[in-house]
Amino acid sequence: MKDYANMSPAEVRALIRAGEITTPTAGMSLGYAQANLVILPKDLAYDFLLFAQRNPKPCPILEVSDVGSRYLKKIAPGADIARDIPRYRIYEDGVMTGEYTDVSEFWRDDFVSFLIGCSFSFESELLNAGVPVRHIEEGCNVPMYITNIPCEPAGVFSGNTVVSMRPIPYAQVTTAVTATAAMPRVHGAPIHIGDPDYIGINDISKPDFGDPVTIKPGETPVFWCCGVTPQAVLMASKPKFAITHAPGHMLITDVLNVDLKNQ
């Protein structure tokens, strides 16, 4: 097992491009922000950008590519959007029709890529503050749930908010809130603390995406808006064609997490 944690983002992206990494990216290139991906044709780009503007907590935009370009100028110069993510999903009419480790064969000149902040960025803040991050401890993907909290619709896009969940010891809940509130570009403060049922999650042991994690006695589940929300929205809004990352399989950017803090 190579030491992905201490490799640079460019090194890890090169291994992903070469097909040597196809796993979730949590813990790779520690200290660097990871990003969610949505690729849409230009005729849907305005509605999606407006959707993101109206729903900044689940959809904090880090960068939008130029039309047709597979390259990013700001957050990952040199990256190829169509090849540098370990696993992609293609949605047709709202149905996931396949997973791929390379989507360059599907690329079109009218595609626009949206890169969206990821809660992995604030996990190092939580760890630095002494707050445990259970899915890292248990070596699995973070559990994610579709809630009953509607997003603000925009054009053809509507749907409910997806959240990620981390069990937090009661004594550390306020620390978890303040540590993440300082990072609004990666979802910011929690959207809910406590009862899963209150936000429409009927069974906390059965996440809609990712893996279940242990909630220990003396801990409460804390929920943050999640960049997988666009995938729930794509399923609900059924655009003809869209590409996303597979949950947990992110773009590793050249942006340091600390640079995503309030300034």
Nearer to its own copies, 65 or 141 (CB): 65
* Token pair for 80: 């190829």
Q: How many residues bind its own copies (CB under 8 A)?
A: 16
Q: How far is the CB of 124 from its own copies (least distance, A)?
A: 20
* Binding residue for its own copies, selected from 10, 50, 127, 236, defined by CB under 8 A: 50
Identify which of residues 70 and 261 has a Cβ nearer to its own copies in the complex: 261
Helix pair 173-181, 120-128: axis angle to 10 deg = 130
Task: Give yes or no for residue 45 binding its own copies (CB under 8 A).
Answer: yes
Taking a C-beta distance cutoff of 8 angstroms, is the pair 164, 142 a contact? yes
Is 140:213 a contact under the CB 8 Å cutoff?
A: yes
Q: How far is the CB of 61 from its own copies (least distance, A)?
A: 6
Member of 58, 117, 159, 188 binding its own copies (CB under 8 A): 188
Regarding 46 and contact with its own copies (CB under 8 A), the answer is yes
Decide: helix, strand or coil at residue 180. helix
One residue of 149, 189, 222, 255 binding its own copies per CB under 8 A = 189
Q: Which range binds its own copies by CB under 8 A, 17-25, 40-48, 125-133, 229-237?
A: 40-48
* Secondary structure class of 223 (helix, strand, coil): strand
Q: Which stretch binds its own copies (CB under 8 A): 23-31, 43-51, 164-172, 191-199?
A: 43-51
Residue with token string 């999903």: 89
Q: Using CB under 8 A, which of 14, 61, 90, 215 touches its own copies?
A: 61
Q: Does residue number 263 form part of the binding site for its own copies (CB under 8 A)?
A: yes
Query: How much is the CA Rg of the chain, to the nearest whole Å?
Result: 17
Residue ranges of alpha helices (H) inside the chain are 9-17, 42-54, 120-128, 134-137, 173-181, 229-237
Q: Which of 169, 184, 200, 212 binds its own copies (CB under 8 A)?
A: 184
Q: Which of 16, 28, 49, 118 binds its own copies (CB under 8 A)?
A: 49
b/e per residue 17-55 (b: at least 16 CB within 10 A): beeebeebbbebbeebbbbbbbbbbeebbebbbebbeeb
The Cα 165–Cα 213 span in angstroms is 9
Q: How far is the CB of 227 from its own copies (least distance, A)?
A: 16
Applying the rule CB under 8 A, the residues between 63 and 92 that interact with its own copies are: 64
CB 49 → its own copies: shortest distance, Å?
5
Q: For its own copies, which stretch binds (CB under 8 A), given 84-92, 183-191, 214-222, 232-240?
A: 183-191
Binding status of residue 5 toward its own copies by CB under 8 A: no
| Contacts (Cβ under 8 Å, ≥6 apart) of 153 | 51, 54
The residues near 253 (Cβ < 8 Å, ≥ 6 apart) are 9, 32, 33, 34, 35, 62, 75, 76, 79, 115
Q: Which residues bind its own copies (CB under 8 A)?
A: 42, 45-46, 49-50, 52-54, 61, 64, 181, 184, 188-189, 262-263
